[in-house]
Amino acid sequence: MGRMRAETLQRSADLHYAFYPRNDRDAWLFCSTYHVRDELIRTNVAYRDLEALRTSPDYMKRCKKHAFAMIRQFGMPTWFITLTSRDFHWPETLNAIRVAQGQPKFTDAELESMAFAERSNTVRSDPVTATRMYHRRLEAALKYLFLDCPETIGPVTDFYTMQEMNGRGTEHTHGLFWVKDAPQYGVASNEEVCAFVDKYVSCSIHGIDPSLLGCQTHVHSSTCKTRGANVCRFKFPRPPMRRTTILEPFRDDEISDDDFKRLRKKWADVHQYLQSLGKNHRDTRSFDEFLQDLDLDEDEYVRVVHSSLTQVTVLLQRNPCEIRINNYSRLVHPLWRGNMDIQLCLDPYAVAMYITSYVTKCDRGLRTALAAIRQAARHDGGSLREHIRKLGNTLIHHQAISATEAAMLVLGLKHRRTTRRLVFVPTR
């Protein structure tokens, strides 16, 4: 007993000494002797404190674990939803800013005739109030539109959401939602899954308030075409379809190479034609007239679209005038009154991609800079304290943070919202 106890005490004293050295020299001497420093760096224990910094990759890593833990426990989520701020146009935000500045609220007539520049200046003059208003709106939406109202996207049992800012500092929210008894792709029939999607999701211009049509229409931006690709990564313009359909990419045994090449060539023509159509919401052509213009019959057209897919995809019922309309929830969109996107989760790999690419995205430049410091620390000397200080400084100086994000961080507004807490249980 004596030896075991002495060893345990010695080990805990060593760790205590590693974390709370009397000075840097002591710590370095101690660490180099006992290899504790290297071990702390190798096992990432040295970086635990960085998890508390909400813009650090370590924090994002913890968030990712949280999302993956929920998927492991509850299975694949049903919906992946994105909600975007439109605070320039939200009267309550503009008025809250006016009141905070000691001025009377805008009248309805003033709001109606307000130029975009004035709206923009009002919001920019007080990012703190604008951010607080966005978070209040989001919390109300999560509670009243998603959790308490099964008619919007089905009876939600759990959700996980994260905040993100785009290049202009506009806030948006990405979320995974689990719905009770939702039909699972691959288990239920495709007809059942499509009927479930059609019940809640649409891209019809007739279901959109005309004042919201602009914000729900996709306009390409610099972030659409990444890494020199010539195709919009959000897959706009999207092909018109007579009815909602689920298609998987062609398997090798399903189609010959020559046939596939022929269909891909036709898809290039169809895609070019779709791009030439622009965002003409007044295009009254029917789906049949659209096929006539392409000189394709329906079966061939669906096969051509099919050949363009790289992953299992839900193609919504869509008219030729709706090729740039983002998918929206029929009931949530008119109440949120900003851009939204909703997709049915079909493929576990796609969900993992949503989480890593959107939900827990971390600045790549910062990640690379921090990784280089960590790598160097494994070979270079120096105390643990110096190393952590260097990381902290990089974290502070390598990030461009918008006023909205700064307000969110300073006010302590939630970065992620979820129905579950994450508790790590060591099982080794």
Question: What secondary structure does DSSP assign to 134-190, as a single string?
Answer: HHHHHHHIIIIIIIS-HHHHS-EEEEEEEEEE-TT--EEEEEEEEETTPPPBTTB-H
Count residues near Zn ion (CB under 5 A).
5
Q: Please tell me the distance from the alpha carbon of residue 95 to that of residue 85, in angstroms, as a whole number.
A: 16
Which helix (H) or strand (E) is 343 found in, with range?
A: strand 340-344
Nearer to Zn ion, 76 or 224 (CB): 224
Closest-CA residue to 217 (of 276, 287, 279): 279
Task: Please select the residue that binds Zn ion; options are 27, 193, 232, 247, rule is CB under 5 A.
Answer: 232
Q: How far is the CB of 219 from Zn ion (least distance, A)?
A: 7
Which helix (H) or strand (E) is 428 found in, with range?
A: none
Nearer to Zn ion, 65 or 220 (CB): 220
Nearer to Zn ion, 34 or 234 (CB): 234
Site for Zn ion in 236-265 (CB under 5 A): 236
Nearer to Zn ion, 224 or 312 (CB): 224
Residue 295, class by beta-carbon neighbours within 10 Å (0-12 exposed, 13-18 middle, 19+ buried)? exposed
Q: How far is CA 314 from CA 161, 191, 201, 244, 347, in A?
A: 23, 11, 11, 7, 11
Q: Are strands 79-84 and 171-179 parallel, antiparallel or unpaired?
A: antiparallel
Q: Report if residue 69 touches Zn ion, rule: CB under 5 A.
A: no
Q: How far is the CB of 231 from Zn ion (least distance, A)?
A: 9
Q: How far is the CB of 326 from Zn ion (least distance, A)?
A: 10
Which range of residues in 23-31, 177-185, 230-238, 357-365 is near Zn ion by CB under 5 A?
230-238
Nearer to Zn ion, 234 or 358 (CB): 234
187 to 226: interface string for Zn ion, x by CB under 5 A: ---------------------------------x---x--
Closest-CA residue to 283 (of 251, 322, 249): 322
229 φψ region: left (φ > 0), alpha (ψ -120 to 50), beta (else): beta
Nearer to Zn ion, 215 or 224 (CB): 224
Chain-centroid distance of CA 323 in Å reads: 22
Q: How far is the CB of 223 from Zn ion (least distance, A)?
A: 8
**Tokens of residue 393, six digits:** 């400084």
Q: How far is the CB of 274 from Zn ion (least distance, A)?
A: 12
Nearer to Zn ion, 203 or 391 (CB): 203
Site for Zn ion in 265-294 (CB under 5 A): none
Q: How far is the CB of 217 from Zn ion (least distance, A)?
A: 11
- At 195 the three-state DSSP class reads helix
Q: How far is the CB of 232 from Zn ion (least distance, A)?
A: 3
186 φψ region: left (φ > 0), alpha (ψ -120 to 50), beta (else): left
Which range of residues in 128-136, 150-158, 234-242, 391-399 is near Zn ion by CB under 5 A?
234-242
Which chain residues interact with Zn ion by CB under 5 A?
220, 224, 232, 234, 236
